[in-house]
Structure 1
Amino acid sequence: MAVGMWKFLMVVWMCLNANVACAAGVGMTHISLSWALPFAGVLLSIALFPLIAPQFWHHHFGKIAVGWSAAFLLPAMGYFGLDEVLRVVAHALLAEYIPFIVLIASLFIISGGVYVRGNLHGSPEVNVAILFAGAVLASVMGTTGASMLLIRPLLRANDNRQHKVHVVVFFIFLVANIGGSLTPLGDPPLFLGFLNGVPFLWTLQYIFFETCLSVVILLGLFYMIDRYYYHRREEDLPEIMDPTPDTHGIGFDGQLNFVWLLGAIFFVLLSGLWKSDVDFNVLGTTVGLPSLVRDVGLVAMAWLSWVTTARSIRIKNQFNFEPVFEVAKLFIAIFITIAPVIAMLQAGVEGPFVRLVHLVHDASGTPIDSHYFWATGLLSGFLDNAPTYLVFFNLAGGDVAHLTTDYASTLAAISAGAVFMGALSYIGNAPNFMVKSIAEHSGLKMPSFFGYMAWSFGILIPLFVLLTVLFFKPM
């Protein structure tokens, strides 16, 4: 871990999933690194435009995403041929993007139909209670579902406070990421592990203490910070009238959405447990019947939520589709432009990325848990954490029977890295972006891309160093 940050990121970033690349059928194994420029352009655009040209970005981020996609697709059609590019796009859409956005959007619509009645006053104690409840719910209804259910009540609870950015930042840490680490329902990387044969309760057993310690430390740190702002920084400021009226008790409107949420959970579980020989081949990408039923079922649950929820409930929730549209537009560019980066691993250990193997294994070929934790985590902080999980799952051997027994500590390091460090940036996990967007639509000025990273690196990196020392020592 003495490698410089950027050198380390370059080594790992360029070494994405050989297995996924083979599945995509991309003949790009020995291409130059220049093919990764559109992907880098997407990431830099997300990082820099909101900082240097926020109005331009707000109105044109979709066009920018299309532009970077075209910067890869148009040259690729000339260099690799139309058929090869169609296979790349088909794989990106059918195997990755559509299942991803269907899950995100369905949980967004369902949870957006539940309105938490009552006026919670955002004291440090109340805020800690909401963050703790969200962290617990994240492993039950997913980081997206828990985030969308609780972010609006949290914002309303703090709408008369001057200092509240830190509340949303810790919400992203705990509810949108770390809380979802105990079941495959919690976060997409763990769901991919479940689909690859990792038992449903495996992560609950093997990273329970890491998760609990992280949640306790972050809640304790948050309480101290929030108490400081609440009692020291705000007492001399003019009092802001609470825009949310007080009511008698706390309750829920739109309770039927909990039924649709259970239905969504059922279809997600079904796709992992149901084995079928029926599949469909579309331009070289295989779509299994269980996956198709899952996506159709999720769409059905979202549609039922939409038609059975009173419009007044969504109005009270300030519900709109902008957050999910923003994720959809940006992540399709990420999934498309990442294809050549992924495909470069087709050469495997015989190719130019053998350094990655050396980075996470010792001289005898034994996995180094701490290196797997940081390599998986740092990539998850800046790429989509689901394919990053698969990269290192396969790099560690890909044999689920072996990884869940003899090398359980290595799989635990991979799982924790993918989920925990998704909190390092706004693009580390889709709910991060959605929470940021909802907070900004409520009128809260959120930190810039780098401003958020100042919070995340300053708070989370010391925590992850502690976890490394306690749980992920080199074997």
Structure 2
Amino acid sequence: MRLRGLGAGGGLLAAGAAMLPGSAAAAGGISGAELSLAWAIPFVGILLSIALMPLFAAHLWHHHYGKIAAGWAALLLVPLASVHGLGPAWYEFAHVMVLEYVPFIALLLALYTAGGGVLLKGSLVGTPTTNTALLAVGTVLASLMGTTGAAMLLIRPVLRANAFRRQKTHTFVFFIFLVANIGGSLTPVGDPPLYLGFLRGVSFFWPTTHLFGEFLTCAIILLAVYWLLDSWAWKRERPVVPDTGPKEKLGIEGWLNVWLVVAIVAVVIAMGYVRLGHVYVLGQRMEVERVAGILLFLAITAVSVQFTSQALREANGFAWGAILEVAKLFAAIFVCMAPVLAILRAGMDGAAAPLVALTSGADGQPIPWVYFWLTGALSSFLDNAPTYIVFFELAGGDPAKLMAEGALVLAAISCGAVFMGANSYIGNAPNFMVKAIVEENGVRMPSFFGYCAWAAVFLIPLFVLVTFLFF
């Protein structure tokens, strides 16, 4: 079993590299069974850098975070090449970049650019009721256009609606909980883990019918808690609503970008059905339809940039800083987390065997609630899409059986990956992107550990309830 993990862009494939028809040139990767837990040190290092350096070395971090992240990736790749050889190390790097990172960032870039070209106009005032309604709409849209698409569409209107308020950090924390994570649990379009399941044969509407109760429970409780919290903050703050003159009706400007978002969703769905053969990129086997998909994402990005007026983007508060930060940090995160995923994939033959053993009882039967919590705990820090695949395979990897007699286990894996991606900023890519956009607009967000504390207070008790109700 080679060292690998599937990308958070739903397994979409890379473009921009030379595509070589024929057989793979590379000899293969490194077995996860050969790796000790020491190979996880660079991943822990980059995780602690993201968590601690903004607190204790903010100036250094904000000016050099890309170099620091690249340094941690180098601290993995150089020893890997020394111990296992340059060829296998290059193979693993190419695998992560070509099959995981580039597809991930291309899809994210398309959604970020198109979503940032849609301007929701109108006089929105960030009262508790209005804010709750916006979060509810975003939670529903997340399963229709993806958590990234819904987050990019609504984060700026929520920022504008709450510009006059002093106490508003909680609004953006719950925005991440609901719109950037839990809302994406009903379709494969909603969140990358479910899309990876779709590519492996899980029916398109299986999450809709089997995760609806879990989704509804989490959404209703979190929206109710948010409304109470925001109502308390409103009464405590007693904000003065600014007089902006005649109220403007709600409307949408930038309809081209609305249709571009629809096109992105259509491409993602089509790539789950179309089969066009394969090519090789830097020794990595890639399906032609996925290469076409990545090219279409880049084309959609170019169309959005070319035909969206600068005035509209300025009115929407659009900037490129957030996507650049995500691109730099997640490149290193994908490289550094690869050994951890490989060790997990090795199952009982790997260094994480005691952890893997917890998933089954003495009779050998899988334990759904353990799958829920293990998938969720690792999704909180390892990125939820590849973590989903690890536990999907540990549960047998047969979609037909998992959708039938294994439905409870598959539901537990799906909910763990999608829901608990909200537990940290790096659990799901939109989390970090929302944080960056909010901070670009001058709103202070919790630190890495501060955000995790919010999750511990509001999400963990909810997930305990979900465990007792469903798993």
- Could you state the TM-score of these two structures normalised by the residue count of structure 1? 0.92
SS in 1 for 2:364: coil
Kept in 2, the 8 Å contact 1:24–1:285? The answer is no
* Aligned-residue offset at 1:16: 11
Please list, as runs of the form range in 1=range in 2, the aligned pairs for 1:230-379 lying within 5 A after superposition. Answer: 230-231=234-235, 233-235=236-238, 239=240, 241=242, 247-276=247-276, 278-345=277-344, 347-379=346-378
Alpha-carbon distance in structure 2 between the residues aligned to 1:147 and 1:329: 20
Residue identity opposite 2:309 in structure 1: A
Kept in 2, the 8 Å contact 1:190–1:415? The answer is yes
Q: How many residues are paired up?
A: 453
1:418 equivalent in alignment to 2:422: no
Give the one of 76, 79, 83 matched to 1:79.
Answer: 83
Match of 2:204 in 1: 200
1:66 equivalent in alignment to 2:70: yes
* Aligned-residue offset at 1:434: 0.7
Deviates more, 1:339-348 or 1:411-420: 339-348
SS in 1 for 2:272: helix
Alpha-carbon distance in structure 2 between the residues aligned to 1:23 and 1:57: 38
Residue identity opposite 1:37 in structure 2: I
Kept in 1, the 8 Å contact 2:4–2:339? The answer is no
Deviations 1:49-106 (A, max 9, x none): 1121222211111010111011111222222222111111111011111111111110
* Aligned-residue offset at 1:302: 1.4
- Give me the identity figure in percent: 50
* Aligned-residue offset at 1:343: 2.9
* Aligned-residue offset at 1:248: 2.1
Inter-CA distance 319–197: structure 2 relative to 1 (3 Å threshold)? same
Residue identity opposite 2:391 in structure 1: F
Match of 2:17 in 1: none
Kept in 2, the 8 Å contact 1:17–1:388? The answer is no
Please list, as runs of the form range in 1=range in 2, the aligned pairs for 1:454-473 lying within 5 A after superposition. Answer: 454-472=453-471
Match of 1:10 in 2: none
Inter-CA distance 24–364: structure 2 relative to 1 (3 Å threshold)? farther
Deviates more, 1:432-441 or 1:298-307: 298-307
Kept in 2, the 8 Å contact 1:51–1:449? The answer is no
Residue identity opposite 1:185 in structure 2: V
Inter-CA distance 352–119: structure 2 relative to 1 (3 Å threshold)? same
Inter-CA distance 360–24: structure 2 relative to 1 (3 Å threshold)? farther
Residue identity opposite 1:257 in structure 2: N
Inter-CA distance 129–346: structure 2 relative to 1 (3 Å threshold)? closer
Please list, as runs of the form range in 1=range in 2, the aligned pairs for 1:37-56 lying within 5 A after superposition. Answer: 37-56=41-60
SS in 2 for 1:360: coil
Please list, as runs of the form range in 1=range in 2, the aligned pairs for 1:54-133 lying within 5 A after superposition. Answer: 54-133=58-137
Kept in 1, the 8 Å contact 2:341–2:387? The answer is no
SS in 2 for 1:280: strand
Alpha-carbon distance in structure 2 between the residues aligned to 1:95 and 1:305: 25
* Aligned-residue offset at 1:292: 0.5
Residue identity opposite 1:261 in structure 2: V
Match of 2:446 in 1: 447
* Aligned-residue offset at 1:27: 4.3
* Aligned-residue offset at 1:213: 0.9
SS in 1 for 2:279: strand
Residue identity opposite 1:337 in structure 2: C
1:381 equivalent in alignment to 2:380: yes
